[in-house]
Every structure is written in structure tokens, then in C-alpha cells.
Chain A
Amino acid sequence: MQYFQKELETMSADQKKVLQSERLVKMVKYVYENQKPYRAKMDAIKLKPDDIKSIDDIYKLPYTVKQDLRDAYPFGMMARSKKDLVRLHASSATTGKLTVAGYTMNDIDVWGECAARSLVMAGADEDSIIHVAYGYGLFTGGLGMHYGGEKLGACVVPASAGNTQKQIQLITDFGADIICCTPSYIIYLAEEFEKMGLKPGVDLKLKGGVFGAEAWSENMRADIEKRLGIRACDIYGLSEIAGPGVACDCEYKTGMHFQDDHFYPEIVDVDTLEQLPIGESGELVITTLTKEGMPLLRYRTRDIASLNADPCPCGRTTIKLNKITGRSDDMLIIRGVNVFPSQIESVLLKNHNIEPHYHINVDRVNNLDTMEIVVELSPHISIDQVEDVEAIRKKLTSEMASALSVSAKITLVSPGTVERSEGKAKRITDRRKL
């Protein structure tokens, strides 16, 4: 199977532009009429829906930022009533509040189609057994790939995350040929396969996988492909726009094919917010062209990347997204979970045994992300036994895990020993080599 939706994936540049223009004009009218916060933004600069006549006018539109979503928590950005919404996803945001995304049935269908296109790029077809080891839940990974697999007509194994021994049993016994999970987890699985003496091509039928939700390098790709003998595709998505499937690598890996009939990407300069020409690196901005539940116009993703329009031997004509190289904010992605330093701060401020001074060390050990939070003990507490310190650490560890949805190692140090800096504090050391 070469394509999931050949006509849409291989349309000519002219056809694409007409389609994008038609959809954008309609989308701007729809948002203006149904999404109050954005209407206010347009009114503030006296921009009327009629001023947007084609995709070339997109630069005139104001940006939507994550703060807009937070201010409108939970449903202020929805353009449809609860009657039409069929699903809510959410991801963590800086203030402890969640960023919510609402989907209509049509949105779920479109997302599923994009995920199905991605699975085909990884080598899947109707006969595939697709093992989904992304977490199922508010996080979009699991359900996104699940619906994609079903759209494709393949057979989906909703394994979800965790319990590696069970995962391995399912993968081998069911003969999964396609797997979906984070890149660090597939490497972990590869190591486990090796330990158990399971050989690719003999005991394992895997031939491809889509791996996303965290940044990974070409070196990691080479490692995964060599160890497992599979096609390893990077997949991009974010819950505000749609989960995984917004863009994905094909077999030629010339950049992730961006499903630009539904999602229009731009790269903008982080400082001036001017649109940058194709090829230059900047912040990825996405406009949804067909979304109904929570359409977003020029949404600033905070992901730093570049686009390329080079023709791809696979025949798909979409624009392509090169690997994400960083973030324009202080968000960390730890084992696929978004972590904001401000979430850590709010936990520390509530605990009186410690000071709100901290440093975060992020590393990747055996291909799994680790996070250590170094925290100062308060000078006002009394400690004369090891158990006193262990009790404080245990309490803080569990408070942190429940606030961040990902575990962190807590290291307690003497008051005054965490480095203070003038101006913007350097609170994060990220030693992950990507």
C-alpha cells in the first residue's frame, strides 16, 4: 500500500493552493463567528474575515498562543457546543491548569485519516497488526494512533504504556508488524528483545514504526533501524491541533510530510514574529484548515523547526517539516510528558520544609529520560536523623509525581547551595544528547 488517500496526498501545488485558500477563507469566517477570543483579536486590529481572500493573506491574521487557551479554560476556545463535541483531550500547562482541546466527530475522523496516512508511510496496510504502546488517555498518543489504525482497516492492539513483559508477549504472539510508541521506549524494547534472545525477522515480525511525543536524533533513528531491522518514522502532533499524525516521515525520510490540506504550517521569527521563507529555522505556527471543535488560527506551537519543499521520491506533494530542534519556551518534554518549571515551583512553594530554590537536571540514561530536581532544605527546620530527611524527600517525591504526571528524583541540599543567578535564572541543565 503506497498511500492512504492518494488524491489528497499527491495533489499538485496549484490544486493544493486552491484547496488551502478555499478552506482558509471559510475557516476564518467560521472562527470569527464562533470563537469569541479570536474575534476580539481580529476586531482589535480591524481585520474582517473578508480581508482574507487566499492562503497568501494568512500573514495578516493575529497569532493564537497557549495563554489564550489557558485564559479560555476550559471551553472558551470551542467553536461548537457540547452537543457537537465528542472528545476532550488535555495536556499540562504552566500554571497547573490544563490545555484542553475539544473534537467533533468530524475532527476525530480527520485526525484518524492523518494518523492512517502516517501508518501507511511507516509500511502499514489493511493486513497489519498495529501495536500501540503509547499511553491511552488524555494524552493524544494512544487514541490517536488507535483511530488511525482502525481507519486504515488494520488490526489494532491497544496495549497502552507500561508492563514491558506483557508488551513483548503481545508483540511476539500476535506478530505485530507495526509499532507506535516513544523513541526512547522502542530502544528500551529493542534491548529487552536482545536480552531475551528474540531475533528481528525470526521471532519478531516488526517492519515499521511511528515514534513521537519526544525529540530524537538521526543517530537514534539509525540505531533503532539497525537493531530492529525496521523503518523508523518520526511523527509529529500536538493535542491543541490534533495528536500524532499532523506530520510524519515516509520511507525516504526527507522531512515529515505535513498534512497541509488540513493543517497549514508557517515558520516565523521568534523575536519579530515575521513569517520566514521556507528552509529557515524558527517557531512553527499552525493554522487548522478544517477543524470544527477547536479551530486555531496561526497557533504558535513553541516548537523550533524548519520546513522544506523539496520533492520527495515517495510522490507525496506536501510540504515537509524537518526534525524539531528545540523549544522557544522553557517547557521540557520528559518521557513524552510536558513539564513546565513553573509546575515544579508551585509544588515547592506549598511545602514548608524546603526553599523554592531548585535546579533541574535532565539526562537520558539507557535511552530513557531522567529528571532530577535539586532542592534546598529550609534553614528553619530541625533535622538530626536520616529518617527526617528521607521523610521530607518521600513526601516531596510523591507531591511532584502527582503534579507532573512523571516521576522525578528529588535530591535535597543545604540551604543556599543552589546557584542563584541575576536576571533570568538558569534552572535547567539538559544533558540529553540528541
Chain B
Amino acid sequence: MKRLYALVLALTLLLAFTPLTGCSQDDSGETVRIYNWGDYIAPGVIELFEEETGIEVVYDTFETNEDMYLKLKNSSGYTYDVVIPSDYMISKMLREDMLAEIDFNNVPNAAGIDERFKNLDYDPTGAYSVPYMWGTVCIAYDPEQVTEEVNSWDILWDEDYARRIFMIDSERDSIGVALLSLGYSLNSTDPDELEEAKQKLLEQKPLVLAYTGDDVKDKMIAREGALAVIWSCDIGIIREQDDTLAYAIPDAGTNVWYDAAVILKDAENKANAEAFLNFLCRPDVAQMNADYMGSASPVSEALANQDESIRNDPIVNPPAEELAKYEVFQMVDGAAELYEEIWSYVLAS
């Protein structure tokens, strides 16, 4: 009798754990596991890839770089093959030896990537990442509610727009906006400057309607607010539904970001992962994605085919002299905990 109960117990435990083990080995066919930002790929791209290659795609999304990083760090062994983090996070993952070197013989389309996106600071040798998308942090606003010119970050501290402002629920971006408004570097590690930024965010808090994520697009389209800090890759998705919102980058400059596809060291389907990267760099696919997000594709041929309104938009494709003024996020070694504490503090206040 005892044995029977033991068996029942064992079966129960087994059942409880099957979903965890099941997903990595449920199929005999070829698969590739991809981890990308939410709402960050054009509809149909994955289906097209599956159709052309016969490789099944398992696709999951994350909300911020930190969220993605922690999920990978806290799982042991194989999780995903391809991940698409941002610049500073790629540096961090590279330093922690989480990335696999890409065999560019399997990614011939990467040759079509514009020279200026190759070997950027986050991946100096260019051996670990393939640029996916790039853009800026900008202010989206409703011109009916905001009639003045938007040229300063200070507008996000303007009492006139109290409870009509959306900020991003992401520590680097929101603290970054505060640092910019104070005239400091986005990558400041100076405790005094960061303290000022914290006070600045606390001062702003009563004016902020909510700290949001991907849903800011819907909220701005529904005119829930007047101003929102957004990533320029959201512009295309907003325009698709509503082209009456306006966008601006303050004169003081902003953050320019580069998101790139990387292959994890623990990847079990590296060849499929490389096939996927190659697919993303194919000019027609790159253009589908860039058009969907209203961004300027890093693939030269794709960019050339994109609409002029995107190519000439200084928000998504800033001219070189402007770009030189913008800052890329870097790792904030030594101040990482301070950033986390500030953000927790601001949210809790």
C-alpha cells in the first residue's frame, strides 16, 4: 500500500514539473528559442521564417533589459538561443561571458549592415552581436494639448501638464531623463549628481500620471495624457493607428540606443540561431521590421527602400552632427546599486 502512495506522490511531482522540462525537448524537429522586447518585431516575420526554413520558433518577450537579464541569470543552463538586448546590457552580458561568438559565415546578410553600426563600443570586435534596430529616446506629445514648442526636458516638470505625463518604468531611462534635464551625463556615477536626479524625479512624481511600459502607446493614442517619454521605435506602431501625435527631441540632447541580436553561450540551436540572425538582416525582412516600428533600418539596402518620411525624420534617423551630441548608455559600474535604490525609492515614495 505504501508503495502505491509513493507512486502517486512521484507522479504528482512529475506532473508538477513537466511543463518546465517539456518545452525544451517536446519536439524532434528543428527549433530556435528567441527572447525579444515586447511589440518589437513586425507581424508575419516569424511565420515567414518558419515557412522558409522549417525551423519552429519559440518566441517570448520581456519589458526591460534588466527584466531579461535577471531571468537569464536566475535560470540555469539553456533558456534561449537568440536575445535582443540594448547596448549597455550587451556589454554587461559580454563581460559576464554569457554570449557566444557568432559564425558570420552563416550570417552572410550581416555584410549589408551599414558600416556605422559595426563594431560599436558595446561590442568592439563586432563578433558577438548583429544590429537589429536603433533609435532615440524622445517626447511624444499631443499638439492639441501642448501648443508650445517642445525643446526642453523641463516640459516634463511643467505644472501645466500635471497628471498628464507618462514616464517609462525603466530605471536607466527615467533616471537618464532626470540627469539630462540637470545637464549631467546619462552615464553619471557621481553620487551627488544621482542624488540630484533622485530629488528631481521625486519633484516630478506628483505630475506623473503613471510609469508605464509598452502600453504607453495605447494610452497616448487614447489621449490619456499630453506628454510621454518613449523610445523612437514606438513611433511607427503609434502612427499606424494615429498620426496626429507629434514627437520631439529636446535641444539638450538625448539617449541614442542600439539594440542588437546576440546568441547565448548556452544556446542549443546555434546554427538555427544564426539562420535567424541572417534572416533578420535580409533587406526585405529588415525593412518590414523597420517600417513597422517607424525606425531607420541599420541594413543599408533596407534603409534605401524605406519611405523618405522615415529616412529624413530627425527623431528616428538623426543627422550625424546631432547624433554626435547624443549619448549611448554604458554600464554604470559601481553605481548600479545606487541606480536600483533610487528607482525603488522613487516608485515607493
> Are these two chains actual partners, yes or no?
no
